[in-house]
Amino acid sequence: MNPHFWWYVSRSSGMVAAVLLVMTIVWGLLASTKVLRRPGLPAWIADLHRGLGALTVVFVVVHLTALVGDNTVHFAWTELFVPFASTWRRGPVAWGIAAFWALVVVQGSSLLQRRIGRPTWRRLHYLSYPLAVLTAVHASTAGSDASSPVFRLVFLMSIIAMTALTLVRVIRSTLLPPRPRSARPVVAARGRTASHRS
């Protein structure tokens, strides 16, 4: 086996996880801004958004496991979960650890959405934005592929896509009036009450 096998796995899985994270956020913004609003599509968009988020977690786990198995730079498990515990590039690694815990909160709140309520889930879900920033800083400072033209191109396109969709969402939420709630459930309830009384 190549002595640098786990180092290659850690690099590749980390970059794939970063790309999947961006795709998850972009797809979530597409759903929330109703850019892809068509009959029958919203449920499919939500499913893909959740699937991309789950894949992101899988590749983050692969990334962390490969770092522990790597012989080039030795990492203990505690150094991957406690900020500034690592002796190798302490600051850049700490950015990645902060991104990991932000990911845990975002994904964990999504799994517990029914228990914690939608308002709380929504507030915690906004951590996706600092999560993306932390991931970008970690990848550009700790990663050995930050100088790659492909990495820079993907990084720039990701920033442009996320910024544009975030602006669309902010504009739609501030300028467009809220949609009125349907009165059908109230009418139905009154009908049932009237029939019950009669």
Which of these, 18, 7, 9, lies nearest to 139 by C-alpha position?
A: 18
- Specify whether the CB–CB gap between 27 and 45 falls below 8 A: yes
Min mean pLDDT across 74-83, 109-118, 145-154, 163-172 is at 145-154
Would you state the pLDDT for residue 178?
55
pLDDT for res 40? 57
pLDDT of residue 30: 80
Residues 54-97 have pLDDT tens digits of 999 999 999 999 999 887 788 889 999 999 998 888 999 999 99
Most confident of 37-41, 55-59, 172-176: 55-59
> Would you say residue 194 has pLDDT above 60?
no
Distance set, CA 143 to CA 10, 24, 158, 197 (Å): 10, 21, 17, 71
- 182 pLDDT more than 60: no
Q: What is the mean pLDDT of residues 179-197?
A: 48
Residue 44 has pLDDT above 90, yes or no: no
pLDDT at residue 140, as a whole number: 84
Report pTM: 0.77
- Please give the share of the chain, as a percent, with pLDDT higher than 70: 80
Residue 143 Rama label (left phi>0; alpha psi -120 to 50; beta): beta
**Which pLDDT band, with edges at 50, 70 and 90, does 38 fall under?**
low
**Domain spans in the chain, listed from the N-terminal domain onward:** 5-197
Looking at per-residue confidence, does 156 or 89 come out higher? 89
Is the sign of the CA dihedral 88, 91, 92, 96 positive or negative?
Answer: positive
3-state DSSP call for residue 113?
helix
* Residue, of 176 and 45, whose pLDDT is higher: 45
